Amino acid sequence: MRSLLSKIDDLRVRRSDPARIGWLAQWTYAHRGLHGAGQVENSRGAFAAALAAGLGIECDIQRSADGEAMVFHDWDFTRLIGRPEKTESLTAAEWKKLSYLEGEEPPIALADLLEMVAGRVPLLIEIKSRRGYDVAQSCVAVAHCLRSYAGPHAVMSFDPRVSRWFAAHSPQTVQGLVMREDDKGYTQKAWQRHLTLWAARPEFLAYHIEALPNPMVAGLREAGLPIATWTVNSPQLADRARDHADALIAEGAGLA
């Protein structure tokens, strides 16, 4: 454990250039776009509403059967579209023929979202992953979309391989690690959190608000690692987030 913690200490002194990542703390981010009141999460309408409100945007990436980066949270279409297929079973062209249960618009591709935002607000792009998943293919798809995008943006994931992949193959892209401590995550134990941090070597951390404050995150923040936090959905959580993090990823009453 001492050896592992010494490696985490090495992480703490690896500070990012403020010119590269300083924008992160200057914005509040609409979680999956500004959704609700008829706007579906991660939809074109939700992103348009976030742009109109002057909010940064957080979004999720799944991969189509033909390797396109699509903006969608779930691993299947049941909850939002009412179809049983897995997201990775349909091509991008087939995705675009779908429509949300609320409204008639189809899911949006990352390339189309980037064209829509055009650098007006920053983007936090979460790449979804799970055990046994070839997340490198998703990284390739996202990097392909970002290759000529000049607006402020970052990729992040619960999977530490994402940060490492972008550091190696697309170093101009800011890289972050998403982490939670409850039974829905993979880092409930302290050694798992330290090991994941060491594996990812992120430039910022997006930490579950319910796990803040805690000494590890406070120490990393004090050492210069920017901290975002999610999902801030009440005024009380917003107050907590402002005390213990640098950027809020928020929705609903957390944006009030």
Which pLDDT tens digit goes with each residue over 30-70? Answer: 999 999 988 999 999 999 999 999 999 999 999 999 999 99
How many folded domains does the chain comprise? 1
What's residue 3's pLDDT?
54
Is the distance from CB of 86 to CB of 76 less than 8 angstroms?
yes
What would the two tokens of residue 39 be? 């706007």
Residue 12 pLDDT greater than 90, yes or no: no
The answer for residues whose C-beta is within 8 angstroms of residue 151's C-beta and 6 or more apart is 114, 117, 118, 119, 120, 121, 122, 123
Tell me, what DSSP letter sits at residue 82? S
Residue 13 pLDDT greater than 50, yes or no: no
The answer for residues whose C-beta is within 8 angstroms of residue 6's C-beta and 6 or more apart is none
Measured distance CA(181)–CA(243) in Å, rounded: 19
- Domain range spanning residue 212? 2-255
Query: Is the dihedral angle over the CA atoms 250, 252, 253, 255 positive or is it negative?
Result: positive
Is the distance from CB of 198 to CB of 220 less than 8 angstroms?
no
Share of the chain above pLDDT 70, in %: 94
Q: How confident is residue 208, by pLDDT bands cut at 50, 70 and 90?
A: very high
CATH number for position 139: 3.20.20.190
* Rg of the chain taking only CA atoms, in angstroms: 18
The answer for residues whose C-beta is within 8 angstroms of residue 228's C-beta and 6 or more apart is 24, 29, 124, 176, 204, 205, 206, 207, 245, 246, 247, 248, 249
Is the distance from CB of 198 to CB of 9 less than 8 angstroms?
no
Is the distance from CB of 73 to CB of 66 less than 8 angstroms?
no
Report yes or no on whether pTM surpasses 0.75.
yes
Q: In angstroms, how far is CA 96 from the centroid of its own chain? A: 23
Residue 256 pLDDT greater than 70, yes or no: yes
Is the distance from CB of 205 to CB of 217 less than 8 angstroms?
yes
What would the two tokens of residue 247 be? 């950027």
Of 3-12, 170-179, 216-225, which range is least confident? 3-12
